[in-house]
Amino acid sequence: MKTVRTIAELPESEGTVGLVPTMGAFHAGHLALFTAARQENDVVVASLFVNPAQFGADEDLDRYPHDEERDADLAEQAGVDILFAPRADEMYPDGYATWVDVGELGKRLEGEFRPDHFRGVATVCLKLFNMVEPDRAYFGQKDAQQAAVVKQLVRDLNLGLEIRVVPTVRDKDGLALSSRNAYLSPEEREAALALPRALATKDVERARELLRGLEVDYVEEADFNGRRVLAAAVRVGKTRLIDNVILEGETT
Ligand code: AMP
C-alpha cells in the first residue's frame, strides 16, 4: 500500500477503482467497506481526511481520534492499495470558495442539529470523486442520511459513479461501531446501549420510550431514496451517537 498526501501524486489507475472515503480511526465498519471495495474493483483507494468543513464550531473536530500509523496498517491488511491522506490546505487551499448546496435533504434530521454538516460532506465527496475518479464509492448504512445525500449528489450532478452502501457493523452488545465510541466511559457505553435496543424495536413510539433516560436529538422514521429507516441521534455525556435500522427496502 502506498500513502499519498498530494492530489498530484494520485496515480492514473488502470482498471476499475473503488473509493472509500473515511475520517480514520478505523474499526471493523471501515474494514467492511474496504473488503467490499476490494471484492468489486481492481484498485482500492481509501481517503483519510478529517474534513473540517463538516464539523460545527462547537463540535469535536479538535479531539477527533487520530492514529495514522495504526490506520495505515489496518488498511493495508484489508487490501487497500492507496491511502490518500491529504492535509487540510491541500483540500482547501487559500481562497477556497465553492460549496455544494444539497437542498432539503441536508436540512432534516442530522441537518437540523448540524446545519452545515451535509454541505461539508457533499463538497468533500465531490472533490474526492473528481480527484480519484472512482467507478464505485463505498459508504456505510450507519450514516444513512449521508449515503442518501451522496446518492442525490451523484444523480443531480451526473457524476457517473456507482454508490454502494454497506450494512452497519455492530459490536457484540449491539452498539454500532463508530470512531466516536472511543470517547465513552464504561458507564456511558452501558447507557449508550439503549440506542440500538430502542431501534431494534423498529417502532418509533417504543423507541422513544426506551430512550427516555438519554438526551435525544431525534428519533424518527425517514425515507432515504425509497429505503425506510428508523433513525436516531442521542447524546451520552459529551458524545453524540447516531444509528438507524432499515424498516423496509433493499439492504444494499
Ligand atoms: P467515518 O470515518 O466515520 O467518516 O466513516 C467512514 C465510512 O464508514 C462512512 O461511509 C460510514 O458510514 C462508514 N461506517 C462508519 N461506521 C460504520 C459501521 N459501524 N458499519 C458500517 N459502516 C460504517
Contacts of 209 (CB under 8 A, 6+ apart): 198
pLDDT, tens digit, 9 for 90 and up, residues 114-129: 999 999 999 999 999 9
User: Residue 251 — pLDDT band, cuts 50, 70, 90?
Assistant: low
Residue 83: per-residue pLDDT: 98
Mutate to test the pocket of ligand 1, among 67, 143, 177 (most ligand atoms within 8 A of CB): 143
Q: In 18-51, which positions are buried (b, 16+ CB within 10 angstroms) versus exposed (e)? A: bbbbbbbbbbebbbbbbbbbbeebebbbbbbbbb
User: Whose CA is closest to 71, among 90, 89, 49?
Assistant: 49
Backbone φ and ψ for 229, nearest 5 degrees, come out as -130, 155
State mean pLDDT over 233-247. 97
pLDDT at 252 over 70: no
30 has catalytic annotation: yes
Nearest atom within ligand 1 for CA of residue 30: 8
Residue 121: per-residue pLDDT: 98
User: Does ligand 1 come within 6 angstroms of the Cβ of 41?
Assistant: no
Cell of 150: 451522496
Contacts of 72 (CB under 8 A, 6+ apart): 1, 3, 83
User: Whose CA is closest to 231, among 216, 241, 243, 223?
Assistant: 243
Quote the CA–CA distance of 112 and 100 in Å, as a whole number: 17
Distance 95 CA to ligand 1 centre (A): 30
For the whole model, what pTM was predicted?
Answer: 0.97
Mutate to test the pocket of ligand 1, among 50, 114, 124, 142 (most ligand atoms within 8 A of CB): 142
Residue 250: per-residue pLDDT: 59
Distance 182 CA to ligand 1 centre (A): 14
Quote the CA–CA distance of 29 and 34 in Å, as a whole number: 9
CA angle 243, 244, 248 (to 5 degrees): 170
User: Does ligand 1 come within 6 angstroms of the Cβ of 51?
Assistant: no
pLDDT, tens digit, 9 for 90 and up, residues 147-187: 999 999 999 999 999 999 999 999 999 999 999 999 999 99
User: Does ligand 1 come within 6 angstroms of the Cβ of 55?
Assistant: no
pLDDT, tens digit, 9 for 90 and up, residues 84-110: 999 999 999 999 999 999 999 999 999
Distance 20 CA to ligand 1 centre (A): 9
Residue 193: per-residue pLDDT: 98
On whether the CB atoms of residues 136 and 164 are closer than 8 A, the answer is yes
User: Does ligand 1 come within 6 angstroms of the Cβ of 137?
Assistant: no
